[in-house]
Amino acid sequence: MSAPQRPLSRWLLAAVLAAAVAATFLVRDRLDLTALENAVRGLGAWGAVGFVLIFAAATVLFLPGSVFGLAGGALFGPVLGTVINLAGGTLGATLAFLVARHLAGDWVARRAGGRLKQVVDGVEAEGWRFVALVRLVPAVPFNLANYALGLTRIPIGQYVLATAISMIPGTAAYAWLGHAGRGALSGDDAAALRYGLLGLAVLAAIAFLPRLLRRVRRPAPAGEPMAWTDVDALSQVLAATGAPRVIDVRGADEFTGPLGHIARAANIPVEALVADPAQAGTGAVVLVCLTDRRSARAAEALVAAGHQDVAVLRGGMKAWTAAGLPVTRGAPIAGATPKEAPT
């Protein structure tokens, strides 16, 4: 049954996208607050639903979300406006994600250009955390990120949840500013000043996030039990002694995938190793992933659990294969993979 459903779901997605295009073109000449307010109020009790759909369509079509964020606050107030804006922005981000994943992957790859690699590597290293980071600190434009993230392997549930939660601060800020603008136009200067300052304070906090995140994400200081090794040093010591033990913390599909893995490496996905650090054993270990983000996270868990001899392969399997070093493909050697973490 699943095979016939996929084309049907794609046709349904295409129909929704076509409706979004049509709706946005109908209001394309009315992208000012007064005209948008008149259009929404003309829908009566369906005004909020109509606004959500228009906001979502605008997101899919790369129209500026700030206009709709301000309009939501002006039309519905700071609290309800935040909720409605969040619904529209999240729906639009989800539609764009699905379009990229199921309908227009090649077009998205061309449009994203070099930024696509940045997004793919970020999701590979951080998963849903990278989605949240992109929403809070927009290194990639919001509308483009929606499409680019559709070409990654992140599950849609994680994408939607991370998007919705991390959009709350910015969405609230625009709603407060829109409500403040409405108050200023109506002559309520005190309310305009109060709500305007609140919105600006949130935007200022968001602007400060990059510096804060850089401080939080600094490398471990010198003397930390977790160490780093490079591909040349690891390959030489493995060839000479067969030690230390190498643990690949990628998922099983990556471990057995086309990039391959280091010969005799054990495969313990990062989530399993973090859940049960005892699987690493007691001797020296080197942790490996695609780059080195997941392996560094696993190393931190091992160090916190008291493991005294942990190293991370700098650059991971990308650096290993780029150096032309040998890899093994297919299932791990019998006995090389430890038991799964307890559930």
Any alpha helices (H) in the chain, and if so which ranges?
A: 2-26, 33-41, 47-60, 65-76, 78-102, 105-112, 114-126, 128-136, 142-149, 156-166, 168-185, 189-216, 231-241, 252-255, 270-275, 293-304, 316-322
Q: Residue 317: what pLDDT?
A: 95
Mean pLDDT calculated for residue range 83-103? 92
Q: Which residue has the higher pLDDT, 184 or 234?
A: 234
- Band (pLDDT 50/70/90 cuts) for residue 262 is very high
Longest dimension (CA), the chain: 80
Alpha carbon 73 to its chain centroid, in Å, reads 26
Q: How many CB atoms lie within 10 A of CB 137?
A: 17
| Length, in residues, of the chain | 343
Q: Is the pLDDT of residue 241 over 50?
A: yes
Q: Is the pLDDT of residue 22 over 70?
A: no
As to burial, measured by CB atoms within 10 angstroms (0-12 exposed, 13-18 middle, 19+ buried), residue 80 is middle
Radius of gyration of the chain (CA): 25
Q: Is the pLDDT of residue 156 over 80?
A: yes
pTM of the model: 0.54
Q: 3-state DSSP call for residue 172?
A: helix
DSSP string over 97-114: HHHHHHT-HHHHHHHHTH
Separation between Cα atoms, residue 10 and residue 12, nearest integer Å: 5
248 backbone dihedrals φ, ψ, rounded to 5°? -95, 120
Residues of the chain with CATH 3.40.250.10: 226-322
Any alpha helices (H) in 103-166, and if so which ranges?
A: 105-112, 114-126, 128-136, 142-149, 156-166
Give percent above pLDDT 70 in the chain.
69
Separation between Cα atoms, residue 107 and residue 203, nearest integer Å: 33
Separation between Cα atoms, residue 86 and residue 79, nearest integer Å: 11
- Band (pLDDT 50/70/90 cuts) for residue 340 is very low
- Which of 112-116, 185-189, 265-269 is modeled with the greatest confidence? 265-269
Q: Residue 250: what pLDDT?
A: 95
> If residue 227 lies in a helix (H) or strand (E), which one and from where to where?
strand 226-229
Q: 3-state DSSP call for residue 310?
A: strand
Q: How many CB atoms lie within 10 A of CB 300?
A: 17
The CATH architecture assigned to 226-322 reads 3-Layer(aba) Sandwich (3.40)
- Which of 193-202, 226-235, 252-261, 333-342 is modeled with the greatest confidence? 252-261
pLDDT digits (tens, 9 = 90+) for 32-56: 666 777 777 778 888 889 899 989 9
